[in-house]
Amino acid sequence: MASAPTVEPTRRDMLFIATGAAAVVGTGAAIWPFISQMNPDASTLALASTEVDISSISEGGILTVKWRGKPVFVRHRTKKEIDDAAAAKVDTLPDPQTDSARVKKPEWLVVVGVCTHLGCVPLGNQGSFSGWFCPCHGSDYDTSGRIRSGPAPRNLEVPAYSFISDTKIQIG
């Protein structure tokens, strides 16, 4: 091959770059389905919402239901529990949030029952704040599901939900 230095791009340069670009785009397009297939499939997405009848939960009771494979706590709070939650000084909390921002109706608290530390399921009506206590590493949640002490960084997550009627909610 001639080795005279050329400043102008040659046809060969053009073909080389075009082929390389097509190969890169083609490889990317071929790889994408193999990554995407590990995401939730249509049958999993179809189960992404669930309806719960809350009429059977008496005051002070907690119902645990499964939503997206995880426990969700539906807590029928007593007057005292509501007052305790409202009385907490928000700006001293590790994850500041008012109780009213976490509920749609004060007597009903709906939270995902997964500790925000490392994913264990906390125990209800236990711990220093009588909310939840996580037995794995000692995270203490109040009656609003907010983290008060222990290693967990955030409050128990409030899932998207809505009241279909006074006795029925839809989670997700």
Partner 1 sequence: MSGQSTYVPSSAIGRWFESRLPIMGLMHSSFVAYPVPRNLNYWWTFGAILSFMLVAQIVTGIVLAMHYTPHVDFAFNSVEHIMRDVNWGWLIRYTHANGASMFFVAVYLHMLRGLYYGSYKAPREVLWILGVIIYLLMMATGFMGYVLPWGQMSFWGATVITNLFSAIPLVGDAITTWLWGGYSVDNPTLNRFFSLHYLLPFMIAAVVGLHVWALHVVGQNNPAGVEVKNVERDTIPFTPYATLKDAFGLVCFLIFYAWFVFYTPNFLGHADNYIEANPLVTPAHIVPEWYYLPFYAILRAIPSKLGGVVAMFGAIAILAFLPWLDTSRVKSAAFRPVYKVFFWVFVMACLGLGYLGSQPPDGGYVIAARILTAYYFGFFIIIMPLLGLFEKTKPVPATIADAILAKNGAAAQSHS
The catalytic residue positions are 137
- Which lies closer to partner 1 via its Cβ, residue 21 or residue 164? 21
Here the tokens at position 147 are 């983290």
Instruction: Name which of 32 and 163 has its Cβ closer to partner 1.
Output: 32
Q: Which is nearer to partner 1, 3 or 36 (CB)?
A: 36
108 bridge partner residues:
76, 105
Written as one letter, the residue type at 65 is V
HSE, CB side, 13 Å, CA atoms: give it for residue 4: 4
Measure Cα distances from 49 to 45, 54, 65, 84, 149 in Å: 9, 16, 12, 31, 31
Q: Binding residues for partner 1, per CB under 8 A?
A: 32-34, 36-39, 41-44
Question: Structure tokens of 107?
Answer: 């007597």
Q: 25 or 123: whose CB is closer to partner 1? A: 25
Residue 166: closest CA among 52, 62, 85: 52
Q: Which two tokens stand for residue 17?
A: 């770059």
**The dihedral of CA 134, 161, 54, 51: what is its sign?**
negative
